[in-house]
Structure 1
Amino acid sequence: MSSSTTTINRSSQVITCKAAVAWGPGKELVMEEVELSPPQPMEIRIKVVCTSLCRSDVTAWQSQLTPIFPRIFGHEASGIVESVGQGVTEFQEGDHVLTLFTGECMTCRHCLSTQSNMCQVLGLERRGVMHSDQKTRFSIKGEPVYHYCAVSSFSEFTVVHSGCAVKVRSDVPLDKLCLLSCGVAAGLGAAWKVADISKQSTVVIFGLGTVGLSVALGAKLRGASHIIGVDTNSDKFEKARLFGITDLINPTDHEEPIHQVIKRKTNGGADYAFECVGDTGTVTTALLSCCDGWGLTVTLGVPKVEPEVKAHYGLLLSGRTLKGSLIGGWKPKSDIPKLVDMYIRKEIPIDQFITHDLQFADINKAFELMIGGKCLRCVIHMPN
């Protein structure tokens, strides 16, 4: 008697799974059954283990500027590779990974440069489709459901380009590491890589969410002597001190312009200012809060409205600099594993940024908490 074994090639199969779908700007997410295509060449399909809500998810969900719906948001996630597409050699089934909202192809001009992390092939995708063929992998009853940042982690499974994921050690908790795929990495990199904060310097941070407090942590670890946090929500202040903030300002408590308050506290202006709000008016305020000669402003936020920055040319003529920062300037596939190692060595306390753990079914609660200023990061746990 003979027997035979049939091997199922999961990488060629369409699967169905649950996803939290946004049907319109600001509309509550709806748990839907979606079809997810198999990974195409150089793509991987991931079983999402944990994902967290980032402020940019909320901004894009609320935005009326370029609405793309129906859509699956989420980009800050950890998971396990379920299947791999043709040509993928870097990953195999069972690998633990973090998703990356901006990738690294390793071969383009920017990837080969030490001056940039703006990959020309796998850079930030804003149109709701995949990099390779400008199509979606999600659908409902044959109709497309669009991606967010080519990740879409508010789903039990997702498909990403292999250049938009990074392999991590399997002995590190994925519910903590997901924060390194965006928020915490963005703040630390802005402090260390983009600004290169020096010892005994003065720093002012506008916006005390996860990104702003990651900047504060980075400044503290670099030895900054004076770290000022600015936020209109005083409920954040007690938590902020844990990350190294030495002085806290609520602009609503002052009648004079806040940049004048800061200049008085810093003897003429801060060495470094960070805009972590997502407001171009705050970018101008941050520039005004810097000192002449060498004051550096770094902007990290994603604005919902009025994307143009307005500033008098004299601010720049006097020696100030304005720089942008995407995921902290890190080359994501190359650099994020170093942050994972730092977490393992207990050099960066990722756990302190997690204020809530929620189940996938309660994802709308995460939106409520963030909009209400009641959380730093809500980690959303997928069903086993």
Structure 2
Amino acid sequence: MKIRAAVLDDFGAPLAVQELDLAEPNAGEVLVRLVACGVCHTDLYTASGADPSGYAPTVLGHEGAGVVERVGDGVTSLAAGDHVVTLFSPQCRECIHCRDARTNLCLAIRDQQNKGYLPDGTTRLSRDGEPIRHFMGTSTFAEYTVMPEIALAKVSDDAPLDRACLFACGLSTGLGAAINTAKVEPGSTCVVFGAGMVGLGAVAGCRLQGAERIVCVDLSDERLELARGQGATDTITGGPDAVQRILDLTDGFGADYAFEATGSVHVMRQAVESARMGWGLATVCGVAGKGETLDVVPRLLITGRRVAGSSFGGVKGRDQVPQFVERYLAGDIDVDAFVSHKLTLDEVNRGFELMEAQDGIRSVIDFA
């Protein structure tokens, strides 16, 4: 079938909306009609050329939600008409990682996905007979996409898909960092560095876990106000003195749980330094630039602080994304506050411009 999609041909150049060919789903695959897709920093990170694992040409986009159109042979968990959220982090439910509660890093299709291919090592996207690679196994800056069954989460038909799409990446990453990775305990003190999509999700996750005090650190007063709406009890303007200010707020001890959601290695260090001696846990969610390293004084670790990384918030997507969507429908998570701009597919580059200007939290492409 012919579709329109936003293609990355050259790093650093604007995406070009073009007509492509999309083949029918093979066995174990699903054809999805996209209804909405968030414009995420990871898309910009790859488009800019900063991502060391990036490739082109490809169709970007991974924060999608849509409706199943057709399924390939052997697909049993989905049917035409189902509402789904796309998952860049699949869940086969069979590999050693999927069967272990300690991680969400499914191994089933990881190698091929990282190369831009579907599980059989080929693509369904092409242009003039030449293959176009899939991005993060999703490629949702497109009217339609073909994806593995194991990379789609079936969600309630009651959820607006222009809200549900945010659970495909940033929001779930933040929620899961607090709920799954850190396992924030009731009555605890938390600090979240960064009030973008991931950081605000972490603030909400800490609130849902029953944290007593939630401090949010960001450079933007507007974003700090959004953090208060998600449950932050205190806000701090970011800067070199942020750690000292956190210590001052916590009787000199620091936070039981610290979360980094900026991608800055300097802020990652601040997160570690603001964690409490004895048991403080710093969870790193941000993606640092190519070649950057985290510099931590070993004494901070010897005195009981711990550092953890969190990919997609430790979320096993097919199981937990539908649960998060249900909590949104129940009123536990305010997703509406995150949708700052609605765009058409042809305005996808505008989404990158708004992101670079820190204008709002999330631009959402509406395919309706």
User: Is the TM-score greater than 0.5?
Assistant: yes
2:259 touches 2:285 (CA, 8 Å); kept in 1? yes
Residue range with higher mean Cα deviation, 149-158 or 195-204: 195-204
2:287 pairs, out of 302, 307, 317, with: 302
Deviation at 1:141, TM superposition (A): 0.9
Distance 1:66 1:194, change over 3 A: closer
Q: Which of residues 308, 332, 346 in structure 2 aligns to 1:361?
A: 346
> Residue 37 of structure 1 aligns with which residue?
23
Return 5+ residue gaps in structure 2 as ranges: none
Q: Is the 8 A contact 2:188 2:256 kept in 1?
A: yes
Find the counterpart in structure 1 of residue 186 from structure 2: 199
- Once the two structures are TM-superposed, the CA of residue 25 in structure 1 deviates from its matched residue by 1.9
How far apart are the structure 2 equivalents of 1:20 and 1:313?
A: 45
Equivalent residue letter for 2:243 = H
Could you tell me which residue of structure 2 aligns to residue 157 of structure 1? 144
Counterparts of 1:67 and 1:87, CA distance in 2: 31
Counterpart position of 2:33: 47
> Are 1:273 and 2:258 matched, yes or no?
yes
Q: Does 1:74 align with 2:61?
A: yes
What is the DSSP-based 3-state SS (H/G/I as helix, E as strand, rest coil) of the residue aligned with 1:146? strand
- Which residue of 2 is the match for residue 209 of structure 1? 196
Question: How many residue pairs are counted as aligned between the two chains?
Answer: 365
Counterpart in the other structure of 2:44: 58
CA contact 1:280–1:306 (8 Å) conserved in 2: no
Q: Which residue of 2 aligns with 1:23?
A: 9
Structure 2 vs 1, CA of residues 315 and 111 (structure 1 numbering), >3 Å: closer, same or farther? same
Q: Distance in 2 between matches of 1:239 and 1:102?
A: 27
SS in 2 for 1:249: strand
CA contact (8 A) 2:44 2:352 kept: yes
| Aligned pair partner of 2:299 in 314, 328, 334 | 314
AA of the residue aligned to 2:150: G
Aligned-pair CA distance for 1:307: 4.1
Residue of structure 1 in register with 2:96 after alignment: 109
- TM alignment of 1:238-249, pairs within 5 A: 238-249=225-236
- Quote the RMSD (CA, aligned, Å): 1.7
- TM-score with structure 1 setting the length: 0.90
Structure 1 residue 123: Cα displacement: 4.1
Identity of aligned residues (%): 37
TM-score for the superposition, normalised by structure 2: 0.94
CA deviation digits over 1:354-375, x for unaligned, max 9? 1112222211111111111012
Tell me, yes or no, if the aligned pair for 2:343 and 2:366 is still in contact at 8 Å: yes
Q: Secondary structure at the match of 2:32?
A: strand
Match of 2:59, SS?
A: coil
Matches of 1:216 and 1:169 in 2, distance apart? 24
CA–CA separation in structure 2 for the residues paired with 1:154 and 1:212: 24
Q: Which residue of 1 is the match for residue 361 of structure 2? A: 376
By how many angstroms is 1:133 displaced?
2.0
2:122 partner SS: coil
Paired position in structure 2 for 1:263: 247
Report the alpha carbon displacement of residue 246 of structure 1 after superposing the two structures with TM.
Answer: 2.5
Residue 199 (structure 1) shift: 2.5
Q: Deviations over 1:332-360 (max 9, x none)?
A: 11122111221221121221211112222
Is the contact between residue 50 and residue 381 of structure 1 (CA under 8 Å) also seen in structure 2? yes
Aligned counterparts of 2:183 and 2:55: Cα–Cα separation in 1:
37
Letter in 2 for 1:129: Y
Corresponding residue number in structure 2 for 1:289: 274
> 1:188, 1:328 within 8 Å by CA — same for their partners in 2?
yes
1:192–1:329 Cα change, 3 Å: same
Deviations 1:2-50 (A, max 9, x none): xxxxxxxxxxxxx111001112223111110011121121111111111
Aligned equivalents of 2:339 and 2:204: distance in 1? 15
Distance in 1 of aligned mates of 2:148 and 2:209: 35
Partner AA of 1:104 in structure 2: Q
Q: 1:83 to 1:41 in 2, by over 3 A?
A: same
Aligned with 2:364: secondary structure? strand
Q: Displacement, 1:273? A: 0.7
- Tell whether 2:174 aligns with 1:187: yes
Aligned equivalent of 1:126: 114
Query: Does the CA-based 8 Å contact 1:199-1:223 persist in structure 2?
Result: yes
List alignment gaps of at least 5 residues for structure 1. 1-14
What letter is aligned with 2:315? W
Alignment of 1:317-356 (within 5 A): 317-356=302-341
Separation in 2 of the partners of 1:204 and 1:187? Answer: 13
Larger Rg: 1
Q: Deviations over 1:51-96 (max 9, x none)?
A: 1111211112223434411121111111111221121122222221
Aligned counterpart, 2:160: 173
